Every structure is written in structure tokens, then in C-alpha cells.
Amino acid sequence: MEHKMQHCCHFRVAEASLLHEVVDDAFAPSALSHAMDSSLHDILTRMGVAMTVKAENKQELRTRETRGLLLAAAEAIFVRDGYEGAELGEIAALAGRTKGAIYAHFASKEDIFLALIEKRTAAYRGQMEQALAKSTTVAGNIAALRDFFLCMSEDQAWSLLLLEFKLFALRHPQSKKRLQQLYKGAVSQNDEPRLAAILGTADKHAISRVVAIQAFQPIISGLILEAQLETGHSDKSVIKDVFSRIFDVLLEVPKD
């Protein structure tokens, strides 16, 4: 069953806080395949970094701008070089700041990456809020959620980068602990009743709404990873078709 994508990555969800885990790999489509300098402006805009804030004094504005530039540059370098291959000096240079400026805002490369995850998570919650705010039915909510995840599958570079960081965290206990803390308080089994109100109640013998939601992003990452090996589902349209079918099965979406 095909589902037409409308206004990709401009979705809303009325109960966004419940889908915090969904968007842990929260990810707007990246423009990083273009020139690095020009991508900074696009990323800053996507991340909601205002370059002029009247309510702030000059020092506060300078601090805000520097942090935004560093995060935008970090995203570009991380995607280009990978998490472990990225160097703080490269990030500072792309942002037009000194390496010392990084340490004024972040304690380490890990801190920068976790800050990026938080930024993208917040951005995706906002997009999902917009999507569900336009829906008045369970069917509409499910369709919006499907389109949201299909849009996520477009940002293959970020999905692979997150996968790399997760593997890094598994080998470094302290990093693993920090990543777990970042996700602490996300969707839990206690949220099942509220998710059921959004997506409909799961059948008695079906996978819970919480488990289904938590599974979607890892499924996308796995499909994207395999696509890099040029397997039979390397084409983006194939990835979307496979994911759509899995989505419908896990949420038990009725066939037309």
C-alpha cells in the first residue's frame, strides 16, 4: 500500500512528549552533500538558531551564535568524517572559531554529539506536533506517523552516524551511561494508554504501541546500513516500501 508523502519533515504530533524515544535519532534531512560553508546556514536555520535576538545583550547573543555555529559545524564534520574520525580543530575551523571556543561551550567531542542529538530530538518533536495537530482521527495520526518515519529514512548520513555513535558507546561504559541518561524518561510501558489514544488500542495479542514505536528507528537504521552494502534493497524506494509494510504490520493498520 502506497502512502503519498506530503510536506516531508513538516509533521506535528499532539502528544509529542510520548514519542521522545521515537525521535531520539531525530533528524531533519541534511544538506551536507553540498559545500560545507553553505551548509552551515541551512543547518542553523533547520536547528532554529537565530542570528539576531533583540531580547539578548551583545554577550548573550555572541554566546548563542557561537554555540549554534559550533553545533552546525560539528554536524557537518561528523557526517563527513564519522564520529571517531571527527576532530575538534576541524569543527572550530569550519565554524570560524578557535578550538578554545569549543571548550567554552562543550567539555568534549562527546558533549557536542549529545547536544546534537538533543537538538534534533527537539526539532522532531516539534515536527510531529505539527503533524498530529492537523489530524482529527486515529487513521490520520497513523498516516502522519508513517510519513514522518519515511521522511527520516531520507537522512541516511545521520542514521549511520547515530549507529556509529551507539557502537562507540557500547565499547565505552561511561559514554553508554550518558547515552542511556539522555534517553531516560522517554517512552515507557506506562505511556501505553496515552499512545493508544493517539494510535488506537493494540489488539490483546499484538505488539504494544510503545514497543512498536521504539522499534521503528532501529529498523530504519538497519535497512539503511544494509543499503550501503548494495544489497537487494539499496534503492531508497525499496527501503521505504519495506519499512511501510513493517510499519503497517506492527501497528496493525487495516488494508484498503
Q: Which of 145, 143, 250 is nearest to 203 (CA)?
A: 250
The domain in which residue 236 lies consists of 16-250
Question: What does the alpha-carbon distance between residue 126 and residue 17 come to, in Å, rounded to a whole number?
Answer: 10
Question: What does the alpha-carbon distance between residue 102 and residue 104 come to, in Å, rounded to a whole number?
Answer: 5
Average pLDDT (58-66) is 88
CATH code, domain carrying 224: 1.10.357.10
Can you give the pTM of this predicted structure?
A: 0.69
The pLDDT tens digits for 71-130 are 999 999 998 999 999 999 999 999 999 999 999 999 999 999 988 888 887 787 788 888
- Residue 241 included in any domain: yes
- Residue 7 included in any domain: no
- Residue 2 included in any domain: no
- Residue 10 included in any domain: no
Return the higher-pLDDT residue of 210 and 12: 210
**What is the pLDDT at residue 20?**
35
- Residue 129 included in any domain: yes
pLDDT grade for 158, boundaries at 50, 70 and 90: confident
- Residue 8 included in any domain: no
- Residue 150 included in any domain: yes
**What is the pLDDT at residue 13?**
36
The pLDDT tens digits for 173-204 are 988 988 888 776 667 788 889 889 999 998 88
- Residue 102 included in any domain: yes
The pLDDT tens digits for 19-39 are 333 333 333 333 333 444 555
Each residue of 88-106: b (16+ CB within 10 Å) or e? bebbbebbebeeebbeeeb
123 is written with which cell numbers?
Answer: 526539532
Q: Which of 153, 177, 163 is nearest to 244 (CA)?
A: 153
Report the number of distinct structural domains present in the chain. Answer: 1
Residue 1 has pLDDT above 80, yes or no: no
